[in-house]
Amino acid sequence: MARVFSGIQPTGEIHLGNYLGAVRRWVATQHDDDALYCIVDLHALTVPKDPTELRAKILELAQVLVAAGLDPEVVTLFAQSHVAEHTELGWVMECTASFGELRRMTQFKEKAERSEFVSAGLFTYPALMAADILLYDTEKVPVGDDQRQHLELARDLAVRFNSRYGETFVVPEAAIPPVAARVMDLQDPRRKMSKSVDSPQGTVLVLDEPKVIERKFKRAVTDSESEVRYDPEAKPGVSNLVAILAAATDRDPHEVAAGYTQYGPLKADTAEAVIELLRPLQERFAELAADPAETARILAMGAEKARKTASATMVRVRDRLGLPPL
Ligand code: AMP
Ligand code: TRP
CB 156 within 8 A of CB 140: no
Does the beta carbon of 46 lie inside 6 Å of ligand 2?
Answer: no
Q: Is the CB of 61 under 6 A from ligand 1?
A: no
Q: What is the mean pLDDT of the chain?
A: 95
Residue 158 has pLDDT above 80, yes or no: yes
Per-residue burial over 123-138, b = 16 or more CB atoms within 10 Å of its CB, e = otherwise: bbbbbbbbbbbbbbbb
21 ligand 1 Cβ < 6 A: yes
The pLDDT tens digits for 290-311 are 999 999 999 999 999 999 999 9
> Given a cut of 90, is residue 196 above it in pLDDT?
no
Query: Is the CB of 192 within 6 Å of ligand 1?
Result: yes
Ligand 2 atom closest to the CA of 150, numbered from 1: 1
Between the CA of 6 and the centroid of ligand 2 the distance, in Å, is: 6
pTM for this structure? 0.93
Q: Let me know: does 243 contact 230? Beta carbons within 8 Å.
A: yes
User: What integer is the mean pLDDT of 10-16?
Assistant: 91
Element (H, E) at 35: strand 34-39
Q: Percentage of the chain with pLDDT > 90?
A: 91
Whether 181 has a pLDDT exceeding 80, the answer reads no
Nearest ligand, CA 12: 1
- Dist. CA 172–CA 86, nearest whole Å: 17
Sheet of 140-142: strand order equals 76-79, 34-39, 3-8, 140-142, 173-175
pLDDT of 21 above 90: no
pLDDT at 313 over 60: yes
| Active-site residue list | 111, 192, 195
- Amino acid, single-letter form, for residue 41: D
CA of 18 to the centre of ligand 1 (A): 4
Q: Which residue among 6, 9, 11, 18 is best mutated to probe the pocket of ligand 1, counting the most ligand atoms within 8 A of its Cβ?
A: 18
CA of residue 294 to ligand 1 center, whole Å: 27
